[in-house]
Structure 1
Amino acid sequence: MLIDLKNRTALVTGATGELGRVMARTLAKCGANIAIHYRSNEAQAVALQQELQSFGSRTAIMKADVTRLESILDMKTVIEEQLGAVDIVVANAVVQYEWKSILEQPIEDYASQFDSCVMQSVYLAKAFAPAMIDRRWGRFIGINTECAMQNFVNQSAYVSGKRGMDGVYRVLAKEIGEHQITVNQVAPGWTISERDRLNKTERSESYEQSVPLKRRGTDQEIANAVAFLASDLASFITGAYIPVSGGNVMPAI
């Protein structure tokens, strides 16, 4: 079986990021047209666009603030003008900040995580779900984290944002499932990215010992899960939180 996304258009938010680039690349290799969202790194967006076009993918790049509904609606207009309606939404963007203890974490960091995890998910649904309902086909894929199950020290802002995102996605799955739209989450573990390969920081023995598969996962392994959920092979999977963490976290029944 092959993952065939021909004639589908996918939006990847945060597509210029370490994981976002590989997700966009993988979806393009599966045949999808790609809307490349970025917040500030225009040069990376242009480079990614050129790479994806070399695969034969139709692409568009657009700058947007995913924490503002108006910005997302403007982005939607640009995508539809250049690529047509969006079939697959990958919510990957998140605000970066320094992790500290609850007593030390600035209040604004909690707000940034709520806005970029919870409200981004809400805004993307409001923007793109109606047309999916009309077509009776669509995919929402949220990028969560193994941290949402671990709740380790210094993770409070990140975890609270991602756990809020989890709630939105589970409810959304129930609300729009009757229209044959699936809503799922991929939860990476601590993942090896292009930055790690460049800096030779792929290995962490202490972390690897906690993982049943005894290694860190790769950005490609995260992207593979996203591509699967985007495809018709996953047409009867919805409402799922799927760790791609080598067994480091295991949701219980």
Structure 2
Amino acid sequence: MKIELGGKNVLITGATGDLGRVMARTLADCGANIAIHYHSNERKAAELKAEIESKGRRAAVVQGDVTREEEVLRMKDETAARLGAIDIVIANAVIQYQWTSVLEQPAADYIGQFESCVIQSVFLAKAFLPAMKEARYGRLIGINTECAMQNFPTQSAYTAGKRGMDGLYRVLAKEVGEYQITVNQVAPGWTISDRDRESNSEINEAYSSSVPLRRRGTDQEIANAVAFLASDLSSFITGAYIPVNGGNVMPAI
């Protein structure tokens, strides 16, 4: 048994980011064609496109602000023209900001997190799910976070955005399930990426000591979970929030 995505077309938002790049490579290795979304890093998007194509897959680069509906609709048209209809959408893009206390956090940061966590997914759903409904097949996968369950100091804007995203995905899973579209979330912990490898900062004992597996996860482990949810191996899983964090947070029944 293996993860097989041959012939599937995947859109990954924020594909030039630390986690997005590994997702793109992993899904391409599973046989998928990849639509690489970027907001500002055109050079990295072009490099990733060449890498995907070197694996024998088709790839397309699309730029856009995923918090604006007209740009998401344009992205849909561009990906359809270059790859065909999108079968799998991965909402990975998120706005970065400086974390601080609730009393000091600018209101604009809460708005930005709501837009990039919730509104992005609303626009992606409106743009791409109608064709999935017609095909009676599709996957929407959102990248959430363990922070949504931790609620630690200084996490308020991020947690608020991601908890809003969680509610949206659970409702959406019920609304589109009859069309055999699954809607799920992967919730990474504090994940090791190329940025950590380049700075030799993979190890953090203070964090790892609280993790049952006593280590940080890797970008590849996040991508593996995404690949599983994108595949037919997960065809009867929907509405799930799946932590990939070594047990650092554990949803309860």
TM-score band, normalised by the shorter chain? Answer: over 0.9
Within 5 Å, give how 1:102-117 maps onto structure 2.
102-117=102-117
* 1:217-240 deviation line (CA, Å, top 9, x unaligned): 000000000000000000000000
Partner of 1:198: 198
- 1:36-55 superposed matches below 5 A: 36-55=36-55
Q: Deviations over 1:18-51 (max 9, x none)?
A: 0000001100100000000000000000000011
Letter in 2 for 1:168: L
- Counterpart of 2:139 in structure 1 is 139
Partner-residue secondary structure (3-state), 2:85: coil
CA distance in 2, matches of 1:166, 1:57: 32
- 1:90 positional shift: 0.3
SS in 2 for 1:28: helix
- Alignment partner, residue 234 of structure 1: 234
Indicate the residue corresponding to 1:189 in structure 2. 189
Q: 1:192, 1:74 → 2: CA distance?
A: 33
Moved over 6 A (4+): none
2:18 aligned partner:
18
**Matched residue type, 1:248:** N
Q: Is the counterpart of residue 9 in structure 1 residue 4 in structure 2?
A: no
Counterpart-to-counterpart distance in 1, 2:100 and 2:49: 36
1:71 corresponds to which residue?
Answer: 71
Question: Per-residue deviation at 1:215?
Answer: 0.3
| Structure 2 residue aligned with 1:130 | 130
Q: CA deviation at 1:52?
A: 0.6
* Separation in 1, partners of 2:62, 2:140: 19
Aligned match of 1:165? 165
Using the size of structure 2 for normalisation, the TM-score is 1.00
In 1: Cα distance, 2:62 partner to 2:166 partner: 26
CA drift at 1:205: 0.2
- Alignment partners' CA distance in 1, 2:57 and 2:106: 42
Structure 2 residue aligned with 1:62: 62
Alignment RMSD (CA, Å)? 0.3
Counterparts of 1:38 and 1:138 in 2: how far apart (Å)? 22
CA distance in 1, matches of 2:34, 2:51: 11
3-state DSSP class of the match of 1:217? Answer: coil
**Aligned position for 2:35:** 35
Distance (Å, rounded) in 1 between the aligned partners of 2:81 and 2:49:
17
Structure 1: 5+ residue runs without aligned partners? none
The percent identity for this pair of structures is: 70
Deviation, 1:71, is 0.4
CA–CA distance in structure 1, aligned partners of residues 4 and 36 of structure 2: 20
TM-score normalized by structure 1? 1.00
Structure 2: state its 5+ residue gaps: none
Paired residue secondary structure (2:141): strand
Cα distance between partner residues in 1 of 2:114 and 2:195? 26
Shift of 1:69: 0.5
